[in-house]
Amino acid sequence: MRTTLYPLLCTLLATSAAHASQVEVQHWWTSGGEARAVEVLKSMWKAEGNQWQDFAIQGGGGKSAMTVLKSRALAANPPQAAHLKGIELREWAGLGFLRPLDPMAEHFDWYRAMPPLVRQTLSPDGELVAVPTGIHRVNWLWINRRLLTETGLQPPTDWPSFITLAGRLKAKGITPLAIGNEPWQLAVLFESVALGEGGAEFYRRAFLALDPATLTGPDMIRVLERFQQLRPFVPQEFVGLKWNQATTLLETGGAAMQVMGDWVKGELSAGNYRPGEDILCLPAPGSQGLFSYNIDSIAMFKVREPAQLQAQSELAELIMRPDFQARFNQAKGSIPALEKVPMKGFDRCAIRSQADFEQAQQGGALLPSIAEGMALPTPLQQALMDVLAAFFNDPAGDAKATAERIGRVIRSAKG
Ligand code: BGC
């Protein structure tokens, strides 16, 4: 038996090895929920007989990953594919690093499959330079239902009621707000305060139009003051706390709430907590009807070898398949970045996110996230996040002086 099957097996292996494609993919999806999502991509890729070379870099928000990517690109050794998104796509494409995917998009009719916002974000200069893996909503408030019920308190609908609730929780010995001191986590909180307290128009004028009067004006000062009022509610382990460790506090009752994008949901499911049931998902206070978005995508770096090109094309095709989008986003916490992917099997928060996305799309209420690199050129974004973090961390921080600093920093980063 062995002697007859063995040559056949060798031939089969040799044939599949000859057709196997290999890709190296760089990403920063390293938390429990994120790793499960990557596993979906990896296993679907491998199921087609291909090989996966993982290049994962720790660090929520992706700052370290972007530093590594830059040094690899400068050394003329970029990965074939990388998790790269938003404004940075334009920056990398402008430098000539990214492979245009238009021929594939035309061939497979991808443009029609993507919502207009996704198409625009991924084709910053008219040419498609990445494929989308999912759409995250950033302006979410997550609440531990058990803690809320036990204390008999109501979920907050605006920032003043959030602060009242947080004060009551703190008085009962419960940490109100799970968050760490990393600038990007604080920026997620800040942008939700800016949306809820300042409103969509303020957000647009300040952070998209970069209007000097709005950046330093009374609305900005009010938003900064509100942001500062949240400082007393952070956990004891605030310094160095990662976003997913904050989510662990939320799940286990170590903290009552978290303001963070819906990658939180990947962690919840990985920990067997049901999103929308054990942990409630509500629009961040005051931002009902608004949807601040973060579109995740994979860009392909220019390569010459036909086998590498082929592998990139196959990976892009896989990512654009509705069955991949459904499975990946169920694990990741986001919603599919393609139109008409059935929402069967998604949790309540995803279903709400999808409905809110549609509504915001129709009502012009989709707003690019500052913290997630969808709104500002990278130097401006970094400069703003540093000012915000310094302000939040300084108990004597002055809102008016900080607004002026924001105006100055943005003026000088704009050049
Ligand atoms: C990415 C998400 C990721 C989150 C935390 C964001 O910048 O877009 O996909 O889950 O960072 O790591």
The number of the ligand 1 atom at minimal distance from the alpha carbon of 333 is: 10
Q: Is 294 in the pocket of ligand 1 (CB under 6 A)?
A: yes
pLDDT-flagged residues of the chain (< 70): 1-18, 415
Q: Is 62 in the pocket of ligand 1 (CB under 6 A)?
A: yes
pLDDT at res. 271: 80
Q: Is 233 in the pocket of ligand 1 (CB under 6 A)?
A: no
CB 354, CB 329: distance < 8 Å: no
pLDDT at res. 269: 81
Residue 260 C-beta-side C-alpha neighbours within 13 Å: 31
Q: Whose CA is nearest to atom 1 of ligand 1?
A: 61
Q: Is 60 in the pocket of ligand 1 (CB under 6 A)?
A: yes
Give the Å distance between the CA of 206 and the centre of ligand 1: 24
pLDDT at res. 15: 41
Give the Å distance between the CA of 36 and the centre of ligand 1: 13
Q: Tell me which of 179, 241, 263 to substitute to probe ligand 1's pocket, judged by most ligand atoms within 8 Å of the beta carbon.
A: 263
Is 140-292+366-413 in the same CATH topology as 22-134+296-355? Answer: yes
Give the Å distance between the CA of 14 and the centre of ligand 1: 39
pLDDT at res. 18: 52
pTM of the model: 0.94
Q: Is 182 in the pocket of ligand 1 (CB under 6 A)?
A: no
Task: Fold for 22-134+296-355, please state it.
Answer: D-Maltodextrin-Binding Protein; domain 2 (3.40.190)
Copy the structure tokens of residue 129: 């330079």
Copy the structure tokens of residue 395: 């108990």
DSSP 152: T
CATH of 140-292+366-413, one of 3.30.460.80, 3.40.250.10, 3.40.190.10, 3.30.470.20: 3.40.190.10
The number of the ligand 1 atom at minimal distance from the alpha carbon of 134 is: 9
Q: Residue 10, exposed/middle/buried by CB under 10 A (0-12, 13-18, 19+)? A: exposed
Q: Whose CA is nearest to atom 7 of ligand 1?
A: 61
pLDDT at res. 303: 95
* Rounded distance between C-alpha atoms, residue 27 and residue 33, angstroms: 14
Give the Å distance between the CA of 349 and the centre of ligand 1: 17
Q: Whose CA is nearest to atom 8 of ligand 1?
A: 296
Give the Å distance between the CA of 207 and the centre of ligand 1: 21
Q: Whose CA is nearest to atom 6 of ligand 1?
A: 61
Mind listing the pLDDT tens digit for each residue in 322-332?
Answer: 999 999 999 99
The H or E element that residue 140 is part of is strand 140-144
Give the Å distance between the CA of 82 and the centre of ligand 1: 13
Give the Å distance between the CA of 61 and the centre of ligand 1: 5
Q: Whose CA is nearest to atom 5 of ligand 1?
A: 60
Q: Tell me which of 26, 29, 335 to substitute to probe ligand 1's pocket, judged by most ligand atoms within 8 Å of the beta carbon.
A: 29
CB 250, CB 144: distance < 8 Å: yes
Q: Is 34 in the pocket of ligand 1 (CB under 6 A)?
A: yes
CB 124, CB 90: distance < 8 Å: yes
Among 43, 47, 37, 70, which Cα is nearest to 378's?
70
pLDDT at res. 338: 98
Q: Tell me which of 294, 297, 385 to substitute to probe ligand 1's pocket, judged by most ligand atoms within 8 Å of the beta carbon.
A: 294
Domain residue extents for the chain: 22-134+296-355, 140-292+366-413
pLDDT at res. 415: 67
* Rounded distance between C-alpha atoms, residue 406 and residue 415, angstroms: 14
